[in-house]
Amino acid sequence: MNKILLIIQREYLSRVKKKSFIVMTFLTPLLIAGIYGLIGYFSYKGIADSFDRIAVVNKNTALDSKLSSNKNIAYTYLDEDLEQAKREISSGKFDYILYLPEFNIDSPQGIEVFGSKQAGLSLSERISGDIENLIRTQKLKNSGISQTDLDKLKTDVSISVKKIAKEGKEEESSAGASMFIAFTAGVLMFMFIMLYGVQVMRGIIEEKTSRIVEVMISSVKPFQLMMGKIIGIALVGLTQFMLWIVLTFAISTAAVSIFINKSDLKKMEQSSHISTQMKKGAEISTNTPSNPITDIQKSLSGLNIPKIIGVFIFFFLGGYLFYSALYAAIGSAVDSETETQQFMMPVMLPLLLGYALSLSVVNNDPYGSTAFWLSIIPFTSPIAMVVRMPYGVENWQLILSMVTLIVGFIATVWIASRIYRVGILMYGKKTTFKEMFKWFTYRN
């Protein structure tokens, strides 16, 4: 055990003291925050700045209403035929031409958009939505409903989603917050397992090619060397993850204090308090400006953040130990990193499958049978379970997933150690799956 601890200490300190580790530990939260900030900014700016001038040639006598312009699209009706309108495009007066031919409003066909440049998908969807609303309004008018009554039909509905706990207590919940945390946790889990698992494999390959491992094997057993390397790198990953949590919290706190004025924040909190007290004043409460800080707090209030972080750490360690043992076996079996491709694919496929299904199927249906089995099978449970956690997972399912992951890790380490003990001293021979199976069956 003392030898394993010495190897753990060596692996941990040799990586933590590197300048690259220190720099990336402090820069990664800033880079992630900057990337998400830029994506959000340019996405919002692209939508806000998007403006298209569309000429409408309406030849449909069944539509007596007109398309209404909005902040992104300006509709202008032309009293000319389509060919004349096409010539307006070359002059730059309009960006596109919308042609509405004669059609039955129950089955509209033949609608076309012309332009000197390709219309984007978002623009096509907005135009389609506007036409659908126009046809719907026309149908209601044909039914004898006046325009005043049509305007009264438009109603904005705001739904407050709450979750009832087993003891009957109501808890605030937010599907958006749960989905965001689930997506982030799934991406981080996949990234961490891949990153640190590959580090184990590369470290073993470097020591094997430099023949340092021959000296180390004379003092320690192969199993001790493998476990010391795996656990040491796991502690490096855990250290980096904990520092990222602290730095992210510090950056978020600093950003709020810098970009949000304290007096404005106090006013928003007071307005939020007043709106909650005026439950009977429907008109007053609906007109009260929303407080973004309070909205975020309400979204997160129904989530057990400490439990989610604790489960994430457990499944990160469990998933890393599960896969890093396989990566260690691969590293011991080859002589160079170029030979690892054929062996890495079978190991990566379950992880990629769990990643893809967790962010699609599990995120959309966290309580379904597919989500349940993905969170129980050790090959996919590290990602699937952390994606399910923000939505709520029963304790017996969580415990079962943890137990199966521990059993899977023990079995994987046992299999990998039997390959590692032979492969670590093999040189100059092309490795195959058949050869690795022989190593596994050797008695001594």
User: What is the residue whose two structure tokens read 């379950």?
Assistant: 350
**Using CA atoms, how far apart are residues 341 and 348, in angstroms rounded to an integer?**
10
Which helix (H) or strand (E) element contains residue 338?
A: none
pTM for the whole thing? 0.65
pLDDT at 10: 83
The pLDDT tens digits for 405-415 are 999 888 888 88
**Using CA atoms, how far apart are residues 312 and 184, in angstroms rounded to an integer?**
11
**Using CA atoms, how far apart are residues 315 and 382, in angstroms rounded to an integer?**
5
Cβ pair 371, 365 in contact under 8 A: yes
Could you give the residue ranges of the DSSP H alpha helices within 112-174? Answer: 121-142, 147-153
Please give the torsion angle defined by the CA atoms of residues 189, 195, 199 and 202, in that order, rounded to the nearest 10 degrees.
130
The encoded tokens of residue 32 equal 């992630």
**Using CA atoms, how far apart are residues 334 and 301, in angstroms rounded to an integer?**
50
**Using CA atoms, how far apart are residues 74 and 54, in angstroms rounded to an integer?**
6
pLDDT at 402: 93
**Using CA atoms, how far apart are residues 262 and 245, in angstroms rounded to an integer?**
25
Sheet containing 73-77, strands listed edge to edge, beginning at the edge strand earlier in sequence? 73-77, 52-58, 96-100, 112-115
354 by Cβ neighbours in 10 Å (0-12 / 13-18 / 19+) ranks as: buried
**Using CA atoms, how far apart are residues 94 and 88, in angstroms rounded to an integer?**
7
Of the candidates 157, 244, 144, the one whose C-alpha atom is nearest the C-alpha of residue 192 is: 244
Please give the torsion angle defined by the CA atoms of residues 191, 195, 201 and 205, in that order, rounded to the nearest 10 degrees.
150
How many CB atoms lie under 10 A from the CB of residue 209?
A: 14
Is the backbone of residue 189 left (phi > 0), alpha (psi -120 to 50) or beta? alpha
Give 76's DSSP letter.
E
- Which distant-in-sequence residues (6+ apart) come within 8 Å of 19 by Cβ? none
Q: How far is CA 22 from the centre of its chain?
A: 26
Decide: helix, strand or coil at residue 97.
Answer: strand
**Using CA atoms, how far apart are residues 411 and 355, in angstroms rounded to an integer?**
22
Cβ pair 404, 397 in contact under 8 A: no
**Using CA atoms, how far apart are residues 318 and 404, in angstroms rounded to an integer?**
10
pLDDT at 431: 76
User: In the chain, which residues have pLDDT < 50?
Assistant: 268, 271-296
